[in-house]
Amino acid sequence: MNIDLVIIGSGTAAMVAAFRVRAARWTVAIVDEKPFGGTCALRGCDPKKMLIPGAEVIDGARRMQGHGVAGQASIDWRELIRFKRTFTDPVPEKHQQRYDDKGIVTFHGRACFTGPNSLLINGSEIQARHILIASGAEPVRLGIPGEEHLIDNEGFLAMERLPRRILLVGGGYIAAEFSHIAARAGAKVTILQRGPRLLAQFEPELVGWLMDAFEAIGVAVRTNTTVAAIERNGDAFTVHAEADGEEVRIEADLVMHAAGRSPALDRLHLAAANVEIERGRLRLNDYLQSVSNPAVYAAGDAAQMGPPLTPVSSHDAKAVAANLIDGNHRKPDYRGVPRVAFTLPPIAAFGMGEAEAARAGLHYRVKTARTSDWYTARRVAELVYGYKTLVEEGTGRILGAHLVGPHADEVINLFGLAIRHGLTANDLKSTMFAYPTGASDLGYML
């Protein structure tokens, strides 16, 4: 079988690229060994956020105790997972139908390269003019004894029963977000982070303020702690770690991998296609094309050229599709991609941090404050609220915006709009926003 484009993976990048290339009358095929839909729709951001409303209700009730709310709310974990499945269960069939409707060939199975333009899929060799690697990411290997006992985000989102004691290894998005869900559902949660703080992608002051929210819900955060081994004891686990030269032992009923993800490339047999990798990443040019095999492109988490976020996957796919159809001319633009960790409250960022702006030699003013006394926070009895903004001297150009607190995940998009389209601080300050809303605080942050 000869096909113009075969796409390995079925997530956001795969679907966007498939539809665009198919619209140009190319023959297109999709192959995935997992159900169609990809990480975001089935195993990541979307189903995770389906669990957050339950946690929000618990969090709101806790904060409003003594302010007009009485009684105790609780989460029925099985019912919450069932609610999540009302979204995830129909996804694979919907994707299959959309591919069928557009005449896109689909394969359910594992793909691996057998040559520069060929793949082995379910025992049959497929020839393609071009191949797009959109296989997503997977948990990084930790190289420790007992690593096989770790579950990942997919395993967590499939649990029918919430364990009593949960330990998360790592301190990024997954640790921060899933700990907030699990703790509010009644689990005792511990995070072991090798570095000096959680959420290194965000400004340290704001992460420091957010730690008050972790403490309020009883999440134990141990930084500068390296996990050395995981030992199974019947239905429980003992996690062996080291902190400040001393051994640490913690008992848990579930141990979760939250130590980062890397491109899922190991099973693709890239050497057979002369597709070069370096330090676990594909070697790509500015057009997301393999430097060693011009027939191969990559997008999204598999490319790892931009931040590992769903909007980046879509952006990559549009660039790849344009380059396939009309020749290499479009480079992805990763300027000012918004970053949000959906903790309660959320923390968000867009543009430069202070250290990055300083390294760039820019002249800027910084405005930062913890604003728990502002109406936006007081209205919901939220003690964690604050911001940090960077504005270039002379031009008024907004270099970066960093928020933590109510509505941070939405308000950050207004800063993003300004940064990406060249609006100045004065432009935003002179804008009339609906009041009282989270957006109406924006002018005071600049």
The model's pTM is 0.94
Does domain 2-139+262-326 match CATH 3.50.50.60? Answer: yes
Mean pLDDT of 289-294: 98
Asked if the model's pLDDT at residue 97 lies above 90, the reply is yes
Q: Could you tell me if 217 and 184 are in contact, meaning their C-beta atoms sit under 8 angstroms apart?
A: yes
Question: What proportion of the chain, given as a percentage, has pLDDT over 70?
Answer: 100
Question: What proportion of the chain, given as a percentage, has pLDDT over 90?
Answer: 94
* Distance between CA atoms of residues 7 and 255, nearest Å: 34
Mean pLDDT of 121-142: 95
CA angle 184, 185, 187 (to 5 degrees): 90
Cβ atoms within 10 Å, residue 246: 8
* Distance between CA atoms of residues 5 and 15, nearest Å: 13
Per-residue confidence (pLDDT) for residue 125, from 0 to 100 = 95
Instruction: Quick: pLDDT tens for 387-405.
Output: 999 999 999 999 999 999 9
Per-residue confidence (pLDDT) for residue 258, from 0 to 100 = 96
Topology of domain 345-445 in CATH is: Enolase-like; domain 1 (3.30.390)
Asked if the model's pLDDT at residue 9 lies above 70, the reply is yes
Instruction: Quick: pLDDT tens for 155-178.
Output: 999 999 999 999 999 999 999 999
Instruction: Quick: pLDDT tens for 343-383.
Output: 999 999 999 999 999 999 999 999 999 999 999 999 999 99
The distance from CA 59 to its chain's CA centroid, rounded to whole angstroms, is: 22
Asked if the model's pLDDT at residue 111 lies above 90, the reply is yes
* Distance between CA atoms of residues 345 and 410, nearest Å: 12
Nearest to 437 by CA among 410, 419, 401: 410
| pLDDT tier, 310 (very low <50, low <70, confident <90, very high otherwise) | confident
Asked if the model's pLDDT at residue 153 lies above 70, the reply is yes
Asked if the model's pLDDT at residue 336 lies above 80, the reply is no
Q: How far is CA 58 from CA 65, 85, 253, 290, 388, in A?
A: 11, 21, 23, 48, 28
Asked if the model's pLDDT at residue 183 lies above 80, the reply is yes
Residue that is written with structure tokens 């500068």 in the block = 224
Mean pLDDT of 94-121: 97
Per-residue confidence (pLDDT) for residue 259, from 0 to 100 = 95
* Distance between CA atoms of residues 196 and 229, nearest Å: 20
Task: Select 147-259's CATH number: 3.40.1350.10, 3.30.43.10, 3.40.640.10, 3.50.50.60.
Answer: 3.50.50.60
Per-residue confidence (pLDDT) for residue 307, from 0 to 100 = 79
Asked if the model's pLDDT at residue 17 lies above 80, the reply is yes
Per-residue confidence (pLDDT) for residue 311, from 0 to 100 = 86
Instruction: Please tell me if the domain spanning 2-139+262-326 has the same topology as the one spanning 345-445.
Output: no
Per-residue confidence (pLDDT) for residue 1, from 0 to 100 = 66
In the chain, where the domains are located: 2-139+262-326, 147-259, 345-445
Compute the mean pLDDT over every residue in the chain, rounded to the nearest whole number.
95
